[in-house]
Amino acid sequence: MSNGSIKVFLADDSQQIRERVNSILGAAHMDIVGEGATPDSCVAGILQLHPDVVVLDVQLEGGTGLEVLKAVRSADPGVAFVVFSNNAAAAYRKRYLQEGAAQFLDKSTEFDQLAEAVAKAGRRAVH
């Protein structure tokens, strides 16, 4: 792990998406500290690994990202969340932002903004 790099946890039920996000954020010199596909594995991993930022999908295997967001925010409110999902309807966006997500991006149209959004959220989490 490089000094001062942003530590990121990837919470997405798609292995292909996790690999693509890992590649993009790795190229931006961010440190991917863990990954998960289910709400339980994500919450456990996040609370154990203490990332600065979680990249979170709305739909996870066997549950939702909202479960993860609420559980982690109650246990460790310093973790920042960037929601990154194909389910980008206004109602989802509003709910996740109300629950404390730093940003909500649409996978289908905002993939190119992910590294910048994570960096911004990470700077707030680190400082």
What's the pTM?
0.94
Residue 11: pLDDT band with limits 50, 70, 90: very high
Q: Is residue 39 part of a domain?
A: yes
In the DSSP assignment, the letter for residue 113 is G
**DSSP structure string for 87-111:** ---HHHHHHHHHTT-SEEEEHHHHG
Q: What is the DSSP letter of 50?
A: -
Task: Please give the pLDDT value at position 2.
Answer: 44
* 1, part of any domain: no
Q: Which of 18, 1, 95 is nearest to 55 (CA)?
A: 18
pLDDT grade for 123, boundaries at 50, 70 and 90 = confident
Which of 42, 115, 116, 108 minimizes the C-alpha distance to 79? 42
pLDDT attached to residue 124: 78
Q: Please report whether residue 55 resides in a domain.
A: yes
Find, among 24, 33, 28, 115, the residue nearest to 79 by Cα: 33
Tens-place pLDDT, residues 82-98: 999 998 889 999 999 99
In the structure, what pLDDT confidence band is assigned to residue 3 with cuts at 50, 70 and 90? low
pLDDT of residue 42: 98
Q: Domain for residue 11, yes or no?
A: yes
Per the structure, the complete domain to which residue 41 belongs is given by 7-126
Asked, for residue 60, whether it belongs to a domain, the answer is yes
Strands 53-56 and 103-106: unpaired
Does 58 fall in a domain?
A: yes
- Number of domains observed in the structure of the chain: 1
CATH of the domain at 24: 3.40.50.2300
Q: Is residue 2 a part of any domain in this protein?
A: no
